[in-house]
Amino acid sequence: MTVETGGVRLDKYIAEHSGLSRSHIQKLIKDEKVLVEGNPAKASQEAVIGEKIVITVPLPTPISVDPEDIPLSIVYEDDDLMVIDKPAGLTVHPAPGHRTGTLVNAILAHCPNLAGIKGSIRPGIVHRLDKDTSGLIMVAKNDAAQLSLSGQIKKRSVQKWYLVLVSGHLSPRNGAIEAPIGRHPKDRKKMAIVSTGREARTVYRVKEYLGNYSFLEVRIETGRTHQIRVHLSSIGYPVVGDAVYGGKTNLLARQFVHAHRLGFRLPVSLQPVEFKSELPPDLQEALGKIRPR
């Protein structure tokens, strides 16, 4: 590619014009797979108008994840993607030492060709849900769809809404939380608000006050790890059932977070679509315990 607009970091420029993630680009730069005018690039160097950039993306390595016949609740499916209503307790993608029983294992059984997407152990996964978060997740079925959906997420045009129950009366009823999120400085398994973290923004609306709880509709404009849980806990309203960030309860056995609305554009037609998922029984039961009769 040839740089058409300068004045920004090289890795940022490439991310905005290639469909590759910025972290992927930074790795390619580190491995000297990105050349600027024939010379190995640096992530922090400035993109200069007219310079020629050559990116070499290595061929994908075969994945070692086996298909498994795990039931899927498919809300929508076409040749390019699926929208799945994920149950709580199902991990999205395999990790070292945990390569079975995941959503990826299930979708590989349903759609074997997904194994060819980027040769990753996360074929087709363009965004994530925590293991104990239920609700809607979209899965690309080919490289073109993956690039399109990932691009929409980067541009923040994908609408992701969640239903969340927190402890306390959240005030004001409508608001936004803006605070950078990164790894916890002392506990690497947790996330935290840290000055060196990545930009994160969460918008919320109180749907209902129930006793000493607030039932919220939450939209995330960024997709940081544990974003909803970290942001709400940071302002003193932890998610009910979230033992990691201070919301322990006897109401239910997992965190009260449900991805209930998902809106985006179909990769080929660019037609806007929106899908909804109702609260699963365990979360409905928790609300029933605290709702005035």
Which structure tokens are listed for 49?
A: 């108008």
User: Is the bond leading into 238 cis (omega within 30 degrees of zero)?
Assistant: no
| DSSP assignment of 118-180 | TT-SSTTB-S---TT-EEEEEEESSHHHHHHHHHHHHTT-SEEEEEEEEES--SSSEEEEE--
Distance between CA atoms of residues 148 and 270, nearest Å:
9
- Residue 80 known to be catalytic: no
DSSP single-letter state for residue 239: B
Q: What are phi and psi of 115, to 5 degrees?
A: -60, -20
Strands 134-140 and 159-167, sheet pairing = unpaired
Determine which helix (DSSP H) or strand (DSSP E) holds 274, and give its type and residue range: strand 272-276
Distance between CA atoms of residues 30 and 33, nearest Å:
8
Residue 148 burial class via C-beta count within 10 angstroms: exposed 0-12, middle 13-18, buried 19 and up: buried
Considering 130, 132, 143, 187, which one is annotated as catalytic? 130
Distance between CA atoms of residues 9 and 69, nearest Å:
45
Residue 220 burial class via C-beta count within 10 angstroms: exposed 0-12, middle 13-18, buried 19 and up: buried
Which structure tokens are listed for 150?
A: 């990932």
Instruction: Give catalytic residues, as residue numbers.
Output: 130
